[in-house]
Each structure stands twice: as C-alpha cells, then as structure tokens.
Structure 1
Amino acid sequence: MVIDVPSFGALRTGQWQRAMPGVSKKMLTQTLRELEGDGLIVRTVHQLVPSMVDYALMRRGQGFVEPLMVLYGWAQTHAALLDELERNRAAAMPTGLPAAPCPLTPSAAAASAMQATATAAPPAAAPAPAATAAAPAWRTQ
C-alpha cells in the first residue's frame, strides 16, 4: 500500500517509514524510486542544511489512490467483520504461531492520516520523466 501513503501530502522519508511499520529503509527507497520513475510521485530536494527530501503524489498517481480509499472506507465500515475474520484465523492456526493481520485493515496511522487529508487536492503534476529511462521490470516481463 505504498501508493496510498503519499495521498497524505508531501512526506519525508522518515514519515513514510513511520506510516508503514515493518518496511525496511532499503525496500522503501527502492519502491520510492520505482514510483518516481513511473511518474506517480515527485521527489523534491529542499536546499537546507542538512538537506531535506520529500515525496508527493502526482495527479497521475491520484488515480491509483482513489480506489484504495474506497477499499479502506469499506474496511472501516466493516471493521467488526474483519476482526471476526482475524479471530477465526487465529483460532485455526496451530498453537505457537502468530496470526497474520487482515491485509484490508488500515493501520491506525494510515487511517487517521487518510481522514485528515481526504479532501486535500493533489499537488500539480511534475514534468514527465525522460523518454530514455529504462522500462520498469513489470513492463518488460
């Protein structure tokens, strides 16, 4: 759900990591670079000491976030059902193994950030990436 996080507005790398617990810095960096290369987010370097970099969702990326917001809304509306699903999974697991959380349940940080910025307009689109960039791996397979 990395694409959902920038819908909260421009975020620095540390803010991304706090919004997505369990994601390593290396994986986050790789994913941000892929999203930037796909033209879904824009990276802005602020000339400060120390330097500050933030990432924001472009208009093209907003089209990916809108259906996710609908799915998150459904998950919040049906939280009791999803909790029951998790309890059933936990009961069916062999003892000693932790139950996996339901992937449709947004984290508390993600849910509160989504509510705070649900009506915010996305930032203006940045220029399209250069045509000489290599195609992402998913396009070449």
Structure 2
Amino acid sequence: MRIRVSTGLAVVLLILVGAGAFWAGRVTGAGPRPAADQGYDAGHADGLREGRAEQATVNLPTTDKAIFESGYAAGATDVFAGYDGGWDHNAPYVIVLAPGGPGATYRIESRTRLEPGVDYYLCPDGHELCRRPR
C-alpha cells in the first residue's frame, strides 16, 4: 500500500500547523485576569459564605442566623489576629503559620512583604526567611 506524496505532505503540514498553533498559544500566555473573572471570583466567595451560613442555620430563627453571620464575619477578620492593620492590597507577602490557639488550627506567626529588587530564600537554619539585594 503506497501513500501518495501529496497525502504525506498534507499530513506533515497539518502537524506543523497544529504544533505552531499550540506554541503560539503557549507563548502569548494568559495575561492578567479580566475584570469579569475577578467579579466572578468575588461572587463565588460571596456565594460560598452565604451557602455556609444557610447550611449551618437552616433550622434556626432569623435572629440566630444574624448572630451566625456576625460571627462568620468576625472570624474572617480574626484570621489576621495580630496583623489586622497595615496590609497593602494586591501586594505579595510571605506568611509563616504557627499552630493556633483554642478553636483555631493556625495563626500568623510573621509576615514579610515582598519588595522589588530583593532575592528571598530560606536561611540555612531552615526556619527564617533571608534576603539579599539583587
């Protein structure tokens, strides 16, 4: 059974076009997230919060639901206990977690805001964050 030269060239050309399209997509990257996706993420987070509140309070009176919602919001703030101020929005941080206190799995032990022009690495002791200028 012989394959025609034109068929073979067509197959090779199809493979090359497919590979080129694949690599063009990889090189261009995803870029920053569109505002619509950020809105989706915010709506998703709100939906999770409301869903958990509904699930936890399904058979409770309205006043108890309000108390639960208040506690949920307080818990979201308490996660930053000891660091509830001075956070920069949209800035990267390295956060070290430690075992939490009663009723909490974790607490923030320390935080370090990442700065441009600085290399960060794990210190030789394996527990500290070291840095050096680039």
TM-score by length of 1: 0.24
Task: Please state which structure has a larger fraction of its residues in strand.
Answer: 2
Higher Rg: 2
